[in-house]
Amino acid sequence: MDWIESTRRLLEAQRDMGIREFWVRSEAWDPWKVLRREVEGCRKCQLWRSRRKVVFGAGDTEAGIMFVGEAPGEEEDLRGEPFVGAAGELLTRMIRAIRMERREVYIANVLKCRPPGNRDPLPEEIEACKPYLFRQIELVKPKVICALGRIAGGTLLGTSLPLSRLRGKVHFALGTKVVVTFHPAALLRNPGWKRQAWEDMKLLRREYDGLELRR
């Protein structure tokens, strides 16, 4: 039962008991807290059985730039935070390269639980978790989203095109500009791709700056 349905039933029960008004703590209606509770209690796919911690997301919830990765890895699963391993350190450097700090952006993954062995997410896992990501985007309201890797880009854009067809251009998803680049883990395995990734990051910064100037 989702939180909307449970709230409706609670209100109906109180109405039947003759209760016409009541006080609630304001944080109970904080959309971020509501969403986090829903994600932490999720059983929509089998990944909850093997996870150690849900990796919800982190950063500035009013950020102008949002980064979206694929799924948590082993270190993220242990700590409950996105991009904390070697790939996370590289992402931090990528963010600093465009004159921002990690605390100034919001970072999330398509999946909130680690797939066993860090395998690719299955289609049914993406479909189960995608609404949570879309809700995060709705709450953050970023000016530009940077999709890290083929799976993140394909999920946001609703496409199965290869990464080579998604990079180097500006897309739109959920009413927001999207720039697609390599996942930091891929860059660690293939350092020769870093020059191309740098071009993507410059494109990301240009799009963000352009929207800032129009404010």
Residue range 150-180, pLDDT digits in tens: 999 999 999 999 999 999 999 999 999 999 9
Name the CATH superfamily for 42-213.
Uracil-DNA glycosylase-like domain (3.40.470.10)
Judge whether 144 and 64 are in contact, CB under 8 Å: yes
Residue range 133-147, pLDDT digits in tens: 999 999 999 999 999
Prediction pTM value: 0.85
End-to-end Cα, the chain, rounded Å = 41
The token duo for 122 is: 């299955």
**183 has a pLDDT exceeding 50:** yes
The stretches of the chain forming alpha helices (DSSP H) are: 3-16, 31-40, 74-79, 86-97, 123-140, 150-157, 163-166, 184-189, 194-213
Count other C-beta atoms under 10 Å from residue 123's C-beta: 8
Q: How confident is the model at residue 1 (pLDDT cuts 50, 70, 90)?
A: very low
**25 has a pLDDT exceeding 60:** no
Distance CA 168, CA 201 (A): 10
